[in-house]
Amino acid sequence: MCQLTCISDLGENNSWINNFLQMRVKILREVKRNTIIFKNKFMRILNPESQAVNLVDFGQTNIRPGEWIKVRSKDEIRRTLNDREKCKGLRFIDEMYEHCGQTYKVLKVVDSFFNEKRQKMYRPRNTVILDGVVCSGKQLLYKVSCDRNCFFFWSVAWLEKTE
């Protein structure tokens, strides 16, 4: 049994105000996501040359733990994303843009992970975790920040090897 399946028994229930604030954040996050999708679709209609492209041939990429990589620039990454801000199913979130142009060590190649929301194991392809690159936990419009320090999942299309 995975520890995450019974973690809800660990703490006490939220107060009604915290539940309200969390619901507000979920709604605003969904509104923001839909606004971005609409904006991206509209921009692609105006500028058809800006269609998502693959900067990396996924079959040729061979990134291993311990190697040093550089996160591509914002413009290069944006060209790999579709209207939903995804590349091959992996979403590039706003907080990840802070790491563009910086060099990091590959901590791990992701072979499988547990999706807490769906309670299922998944096997992503061409996905890595970078050493020391974690979510800050800051949430818009919510006083308490998340303290889990989750690693970001990085598509190899967003990375380039350094010599």
Q: What is the pLDDT of residues 91-110, one digit of tens each?
A: 999 899 999 999 999 999 99
Q: Which of helix, strand or coil describes residue 120?
A: strand
Say which residue, 21 or 5, is predicted with more confidence: 21
15-71: per-residue pLDDT in tens? 888 888 888 888 988 898 889 888 888 887 887 765 555 555 554 468 899 999 999
Q: Examine the pLDDT at 150 and tell me if it is beyond 70.
A: yes
Torsion of the alpha carbons at 103, 52, 151 and 119, rounded to the nearest 10? -160
pTM: 0.76
In the chain, domain spans: 3-161
Query: Which residues are CB-neighbours of 107 under 8 A, at least 6 positions away?
Result: 65, 128, 129, 130, 131, 132, 151
Q: With 0-12 CB in 10 A as exposed, 13-18 as middle and 19+ as buried, what is 104?
A: buried
Residue 140 has pLDDT above 80, yes or no: no
As a 3-state breakdown, the chain gives helix, strand, coil percent values, each rounded to 5, of 35, 20, 45
If DSSP codes are grouped into helix, strand and coil, which group holds residue 114? strand
Residue 150's identity, in one-letter code, is C
